[in-house]
């Protein structure tokens, strides 16, 4: 079985729609990358090279469809189409049927509304049931309990700690490694 993320699907949910990122999403991406809370939660010290942000973001989103080893999807509001963030499956390892997962919402006004939970569930369903992956892993910083809760609801389990992996505001922060396996995903209610 050859695994690939060459297919860039649109996935509708009840509150969000996941669709391939496009250059039209760049204003939302730039807003997200400039948000201090998003930077903290993702451990991003410097998102883009100053003065070239738009150019870099446009190139990034314009070239995502060219990659069959990753899937970059915009999270949009089902009703309005507003860009809410992105969800990404990357680092596809075809031999071991695994990949990495990350998600970021575009600012604190989108938190606590279930967008991240639904987007996570939609992309995991696609990865396990359509693509045929066996394992998906992520890394989350210890100061992000909201995300840890969402990941646990989606079936991710703690696997280990990368001790003092991030230096933020003169403090060392641990990073937790979590993963979910296909059979664990399918066993969820």
Residue 104 domain-assigned? yes
72-104 as b/e: b if 16+ CB within 10 A: bbbbbeeeeeebbbbbbbeebeeeebbbbbebb
The confidence score (pLDDT) of residue 88 equals 97
Per residue in 30-64, pLDDT tens?
Answer: 888 888 888 888 888 875 556 778 888 889 899 99
Domain count within the chain? 1
Tell me the residue range of the domain where 44 lies: 11-187
Per residue in 59-97, pLDDT tens?
Answer: 989 999 999 999 999 999 999 999 999 999 999 999 999
In angstroms, the CA 33 to CA 46 distance is: 9
Q: Dump strand ranges (E) for the chain.
A: 11-12, 16-20, 71-77, 83-93, 98-105, 135-141, 157-168, 171-181
Per residue in 96-139, pLDDT tens?
Answer: 999 999 999 987 766 667 899 999 999 999 999 999 999 999 99
Residue 20 domain-assigned? yes
The confidence score (pLDDT) of residue 53 equals 83
Residue 6 domain-assigned? no
The confidence score (pLDDT) of residue 141 equals 96
Q: What is the mean pLDDT of residues 145-164?
A: 96
Residue 5 domain-assigned? no
Residue 106 domain-assigned? yes
In angstroms, the CA 186 to CA 15 distance is: 22
Residue 129 domain-assigned? yes
Q: What percentage of the chain reaches a pLDDT higher than 90?
A: 75
The confidence score (pLDDT) of residue 30 equals 87
The confidence score (pLDDT) of residue 43 equals 87
133: domain CATH number? 3.40.630.30
Residue 4 domain-assigned? no
Residue 132 domain-assigned? yes
């Amino acid at each position: 079985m050859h695994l690939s993320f060459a297919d860039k699907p649109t996935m509708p949910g009840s509150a969000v729609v996941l669709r391939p990122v496009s250059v039209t999403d760049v204003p939302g991406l730039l807003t997200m990358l400039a948000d201090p809370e998003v930077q903290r939660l993702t451990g991003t010290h410097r998102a883009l090279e100053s003065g070239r942000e738009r150019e870099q973001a446009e190139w990034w989103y314009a070239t995502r469809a060219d990659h069959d080893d990753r899937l970059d999807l915009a999270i949009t509001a089902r009703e309005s189409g507003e860009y809410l963030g992105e969800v990404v499956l990357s680092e596809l390892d075809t031999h071991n049927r695994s990949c990495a997962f990350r998600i970021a919402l575009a600012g604190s006004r989108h938190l606590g509304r279930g967008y991240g939970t639904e987007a996570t569930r939609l992309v995991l369903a696609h990865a396990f049931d359509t693509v045929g992956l066996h394992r998906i892993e992520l890394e989350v910083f210890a100061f992000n309990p909201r995300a840890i809760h969402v990941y646990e609801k989606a079936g991710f389990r703690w696997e280990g700690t990368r001790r003092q992996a991030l230096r933020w505001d003169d403090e060392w922060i641990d990073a937790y490694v979590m993963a979910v396996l296909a059979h664990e995903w399918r066993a969820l209610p």
